[in-house]
Amino acid sequence: MMSETNTTRNSKIITGTVVGNRMDKTAVVQSHRRVAHKVYPKFVSRRVKYKVHDEENSLNVGDTVRIVETRPLSRDKRWRLLDVLEKVPMGPEKSGS
């Protein structure tokens, strides 16, 4: 099996923020990019959500990660975790009332 750091030469690598981690071994990562508008001279912010394979369930919401494109792992999952750039500290749990 390939190690986590081995990638092919043409693999896409994207940096994003974790916005969801409720699924088992899967996290949702959102990536932002700014593109030029075709008609008006301004830049528009675009965002895309990717489902990422997280084998150890180690990601928390708010973490900044790098992901790499891989073979299809499920119907929606085509990305796997490359490395964690920044971990968000988890605070104490709040009580309901």
Domains and CATH numbers, the chain: 13-86 (2.40.50.140)
* Predicted structure pTM score: 0.79
Of 75, 82, 66, 71, which Cα lies nearest the Cα of 29? 66
Integer CA distances (angstroms), 87 to 17, 59, 84, 90, in order: 10, 8, 7, 9
**Helix/strand number for the chain, H first, E second:** 0, 5
In a 3-state reduction of DSSP, which class is residue 48?
A: strand
| Model pLDDT, residue 97 | 55
| Model pLDDT, residue 90 | 78
Taking the chain (97 residues) in consecutive chunks of 10 residues, what is each chunk's mean pLDDT?
Answer: 58 95 96 96 97 95 97 96 93 58
